[in-house]
Amino acid sequence: MNKFLALSALGPDGPALVQDFSSAVLESGCNIVESRVTRLGSELGIQLLVAGNWRTIARLEQSLDATAAELGIAVQARPAVQPETRDDMLPYAIDLVSMDQPGIVYRVVKFLTQRGVHITDLSTSSYTAQQTGASMVSLRMSVAIPSTIHIATLREDFLMLCDELNLDAVLEPIKG
């Protein structure tokens, strides 16, 4: 029976960091089931869900301190379970672009969580608009909406929030 371990690592960005960290997972006998890697300024953030039997998971856990010291990274590990597929949730995507302003992520997340919407993935990035030189933000989010929520009402309320905050956004189903 597979056991799962959620790993989070943060360290200096470099071409071999992901390779070296994933090598430690492989050497323990575990398998990477899900992964996210992102550059955060000069740092690289790595999130992994790994699977293995109790012996390989224990081997990986015991090697994490040495791996962290060797690679110059901070690592956290937590036991995890593979999420169940839920038939009562509808997968939707949110894409948003706006002039950068404090509190955009907080306000959008607060709006969704107050309505029982689950955030399954969220990423933001900042950039400079080519034409105007304005500081812009792009937000991309995957959410799971309970089937009991009236989608048209949620969309209308979300668009009202976007108008209030001067955000250009869409809320649409994830297909496939």
For residue 61, what are its two tokens?
A: 């856990």
Question: Do 68 and 112 share a domain, yes or no?
Answer: no
SS (H, E, C) 27-48: HHCCEEEEEEEEEECCEEEEEE
For the domain that residue 12 is a member of, what is the CATH number? 3.30.70.260
Which pair of tokens denotes residue 29?
Answer: 């006998």
Examine the domain organization and report whether 44 and 73 are in the same domain: yes
DSSP secondary-structure letter at 149?
S
95/169 same-domain check: yes
Residues 75 and 7 in one domain: yes
- The number of domains in the chain is 2
- Could you report the per-residue pLDDT of 10-49, keeping only the tens digit for each? 999 988 999 999 999 999 999 999 999 999 999 999 999 9
Residue 127: count of CB within 10 angstroms of its CB: 12
| Predicted confidence (pLDDT) at residue 1 exceeds the cutoff of 70 | no
In the prediction, which pLDDT does 43 show?
Answer: 95
Neighbours of 112 (CB within 10 A): 22
Under the banding of pLDDT at 50, 70 and 90, the label for residue 134 is very high
> Which residue range is the domain that position 34 belongs to?
3-80
